Amino acid sequence: MKVAFTSTTGEMIDEHFGMAKNFHIWEIGPEASSFLETVTIGAHGDDEEDKIAARAAALRECAIVYTMAIGGPAAAKLVALKIHPMKTNSPVSLPETVNRLQEVLKGNPPPWLRKAMNKGEETSFEE
């Protein structure tokens, strides 16, 4: 599954969703993970709704977005696109977060994460 991280350098999750200029996109699965690309968000007007919409549209293929902070309207827009926002509340290591997510995927992930793993697939997960 594709996971986005708000990061200035690609090393730390250290930006607020609405202020992030770069989103580092990773492909993460239980056995392997790899960096795919950095998506840069340009200026999309002064309106907050435009900024949120531009970020959400750029991340539409992602299942999860890890960010240091995110406001309610932005989180709601992501959820509407079946993108799960994850707040860290403080700067955390991006590589360590990738490793922790892989460990959860190897075990018995919670239902929301199983659903996120299947984003974009036609089949449903059978419990």
Quick one: pLDDT at residue 116?
Answer: 85
CA distance 78 to 73: 9
Residue 32 class from Cβ within 10 Å (0-12 exposed, 13-18 middle, 19+ buried)?
A: exposed
- The DSSP call for residue 122 is S
Residue 111 covered by a domain: yes
∠ CA(67), CA(93), CA(74), 5° rounding?
0
Rg from Cα positions in the chain = 14
Q: Is residue 123 part of a domain?
A: no
Is 124 domain-assigned? Answer: no
**Structural domain includes residue 67:** yes
- Does residue 125 belong to any structural domain of this protein? no
Range of the domain at 74: 2-117
Looking up tokens 């996120």 gives 116
Model's pTM, two decimal places? Answer: 0.88
Cα–Cα dist 55/5, whole Å: 12
Sequence length of the chain is 127
| Predicted pLDDT of residue 127 | 39
CATH number at residue 29: 3.30.420.130
- What averages of pLDDT result for each successive group of 10 residues across the chain (127 residues)? 96 94 95 95 67 88 96 93 95 96 92 83 45
In a domain, 84, yes or no: yes
Q: Which of 50, 100, 17 is nearest to 4 (CA)?
A: 17
**In total, how many domains does the chain have?**
1
pLDDT of residue 50: 74
For residue 125, the model assigns a pLDDT of 42
- Whose tokens are 């002064």? That residue is 46
The pLDDT value recorded for residue 117 is 83
The pLDDT assigned to 46 comes to 60
Residue 126 in any domain: the answer is no
Q: Is residue 17 part of a domain?
A: yes
